[in-house]
Amino acid sequence: MKTLIQNGTIVTATDRYEADIFIDGGVVTTIGKNLKVAADKTLDAKGKYVLPGGIDVHTHLDMPFGGAFSVDDFQTGTIAAAFGGTTCIVDFAIQERGHSLRHAWETWMAKAEGKAAIDYGFHMIMRESTPELREEMGAMVKEGVTSFKLFMAYPGVFYLDDASIFRTMQRSGEIGATICMHAENGPVIDVLIEQARAKGHKAPKWHALTRPARLEAEATYRAICLAEVADVPVYIVHLSAAEALEQVTAARDRGLPAFAETCPQYLFLSYDNYEEPGFDGAKYVMSPPLRDKAKQKDLWRGLKFNDLQTVATDHCPFCMKDEKQIGKDDFSKIPNGAPGIETRMSLMYDGGVLAGNITLERFVEVTSTSPAKIFGLFPKKGTIAVGSDADIVLFDPAGSTTWSAKTHHMNVDYNPYEGRVCKGAVDTVLSRGEVIIEKKLFVGRAGRGEYVKRKAR
Ligand code: URP
Ligand code: ZN
Ligand code: ZN
**For residue 167, how far is its CA from the centre of ligand 1 (angstroms)?**
23
Res 81: pLDDT: 99
- Residue 86 inside a domain? The answer is yes
Q: Which atom of ligand 1 is nearest to the CA of 154?
A: 8
CATH number of residue 57's parent domain? 3.20.20.140
- Residue 408 inside a domain? The answer is no
C-alpha to C-alpha distances, 15 to 103, 108, 308, 384, nearest whole angstrom: 43, 37, 21, 10
**For residue 112, how far is its CA from the centre of ligand 1 (angstroms)?**
20
Res 293: pLDDT: 98
Question: How many folded domains does the chain comprise?
Answer: 1
Using CB distances shorter than 6 Å, the residues near ligand 1 are 60, 182, 238, 286-287, 314, 316, 336-337
User: Ligand 1 pocket check: which of 148, 314, 323 to mutate, most ligand atoms within 8 Å of Cβ?
Assistant: 314
Res 366: pLDDT: 99
Q: Which atom of ligand 1 is nearest to the CA of 153?
A: 8
- Residue 32 inside a domain? The answer is no
- Residue 360 inside a domain? The answer is yes
- Residue 28 inside a domain? The answer is no
- Residue 392 inside a domain? The answer is no
- Residue 62 inside a domain? The answer is yes
- Residue 315 inside a domain? The answer is yes
Residue range of the domain that includes 129:
53-374
pTM for the complete prediction? 0.98
Whose alpha carbon is nearest atom 1 of ligand 1? 286
Q: Per residue, what are the HEC states of the chain?
A: CEEEEEEEEEECCCCEEEEEEEEECCEEEEEECCCCCCCCEEEECCCCEEEECEEEEEECCCCEECCEECCCCHHHHHHHHHHCCEEEEEEEEECCCCCCHHHHHHHHHHHHCCCCCCEEEEEEECCCCCHHHHHHHHHHHHCCCCEEEEECCCCCCCECCHHHHHHHHHHHHHCCCEEEEECCCHHHHHHHHHHHHHCCCCCCHHHHHCCCHHHHHHHHHHHHHHHHHHCCCEEECCCCCHHHHHHHHHHHHCCCCEEEEECHHHHHCCHHHHHCCCCHHHHHCCCCCCCCHHHHHHHHHHHHCCCCCEECCCECCCCCCCHHHHHCCCHHHCCCCECCCCCHHHHHHHHHHHCCCCCHHHHHHHHHHHHHHHCCCCCCCCCCCCCCECCEEEEEEEEEEECCCCCCCCCCCCCCCCCCEEEEEEEEEEECCEEEEECCEECCCCCCCCECCCCCC
Whose alpha carbon is nearest atom 3 of ligand 1? 287
In a structure prediction context, what are the per-residue pLDDT tens digits for the chain, which is 457 residues long? 999 999 999 999 999 999 999 999 999 999 999 999 999 999 999 999 999 999 999 999 999 998 999 999 999 999 999 999 999 999 999 999 999 999 999 999 999 999 999 999 999 999 999 999 999 999 999 999 999 999 999 999 999 999 999 999 999 999 999 999 999 999 999 999 999 999 999 999 999 999 999 999 999 999 999 999 999 999 999 999 999 999 999 999 999 999 999 999 999 999 999 999 999 999 999 999 999 999 999 999 999 999 999 999 999 999 999 999 999 999 999 999 999 999 999 999 999 999 999 999 999 999 999 999 999 999 999 999 999 999 999 999 999 999 999 999 999 999 999 999 999 999 999 999 999 999 889 999 999 999 999 999 9
Quote the Cα angle for 287-288-294, to 5°: 140
Res 344: pLDDT: 98
Res 331: pLDDT: 98
